[in-house]
Amino acid sequence: MTVVGLGPMGSKMAETFLGAGFDVAVWNRTASKTEPLVARGARHAASAADGDLLVISQIGYQAMYDSLGEARLDGKVLVNLSSGTPEELRAAARWVAGRGGTLITAGIMVPPPGIGQPGAYSFYSGPKDVLDRHAATLESLGGITYVGADEGLAMMYYQSLLLIFWSSLTSQMHAMAMLRTAGVSPLEFLPFVRETFTQLGGDGVMGFATILAEEFAAGTYPGELNSLDMQLAGIGHVVHALREAGVESTVPDALRRLFERAAAEGRGHEGLGTVIESIRKP
Ligand X SMILES: NC(=O)c1ccc[n+]([C@@H]2O[C@H](COP(=O)([O-])OP(=O)(O)OC[C@H]3O[C@@H](n4cnc5c(N)ncnc54)[C@H](OP(=O)(O)O)[C@@H]3O)[C@@H](O)[C@H]2O)c1
Q: Does 111 bind ligand X (CB under 6 A)?
A: yes
Q: Does 105 bind ligand X (CB under 6 A)?
A: no
Measured distance CA(59)–CA(82) in Å, rounded: 6
The residue number whose beta carbon is nearest to ligand X equals 7
Q: How far is the CB of 190 from ligand X (least distance, A)?
A: 24
Options 60-68, 149-157, 182-190, 263-271: segment touching ligand X (CB under 6 A): 60-68
Measured distance CA(273)–CA(204) in Å, rounded: 17
Q: Does 7 bind ligand X (CB under 6 A)?
A: yes
Q: What secondary structure letter does DSSP report for 42?
A: P
Q: Does 57 bind ligand X (CB under 6 A)?
A: yes
In this complex, which beta carbon is closest to ligand X, that of residue 65 or of residue 192?
65
In this complex, which beta carbon is closest to ligand X, that of residue 9 or of residue 239?
9
Q: Does 143 bind ligand X (CB under 6 A)?
A: no
In this complex, which beta carbon is closest to ligand X, that of residue 19 or of residue 246?
19
Q: Does 9 bind ligand X (CB under 6 A)?
A: yes
Q: Determine the length of the chain.
A: 282
Measured distance CA(75)–CA(72) in Å, rounded: 9
Contact with ligand X (CB under 6 A): which of 3, 10, 49, 211? 10
Q: How far is the CB of 72 from ligand X (least distance, A)?
A: 19
How would you classify the pairing of strands 121-125 and 102-108? antiparallel
Measured distance CA(27)–CA(17) in Å, rounded: 14
Measured distance CA(123)–CA(236) in Å, rounded: 38
In this complex, which beta carbon is closest to ligand X, that of residue 27 or of residue 259?
27
Contact with ligand X (CB under 6 A): which of 16, 34, 67, 125? 67
Q: Does 102 bind ligand X (CB under 6 A)?
A: no
Helix axes 228-245, 250-262, angle to 10 degrees: 160
Which residues touch 12 (CB under 8 Å, ≥6 apart)?
Answer: 112, 113, 115, 116
Give the x-and-dash track for 33-52 against ligand X (CB under 6 A). x-------------------
CB-CB contact of 51 with 134 (8 Å): no
Measured distance CA(24)–CA(16) in Å, rounded: 10
> Going edge to edge, which strands form the sheet with 43-44?
43-44, 25-27, 2-4, 53-56, 77-80, 102-108, 121-125, 143-148
Q: How many residues bind ligand X (CB under 6 A)?
A: 23
Q: Does 58 bind ligand X (CB under 6 A)?
A: yes
Q: Does 2 bind ligand X (CB under 6 A)?
A: no
Q: Does 30 bind ligand X (CB under 6 A)?
A: yes
Nearest to 2 by CA among 111, 74, 76: 76
Q: How far is the CB of 180 from ligand X (least distance, A)?
A: 28
Q: Does 214 bind ligand X (CB under 6 A)?
A: no
Q: Does 82 bind ligand X (CB under 6 A)?
A: yes
In this complex, which beta carbon is closest to ligand X, that of residue 59 or of residue 241?
59
Nearest to 12 by CA among 146, 108, 147: 108
Which residues of this protein are in contact with ligand X, per CB under 6 A? Answer: 5-10, 28-30, 33, 57-60, 62-63, 66-67, 82-83, 108, 111-112
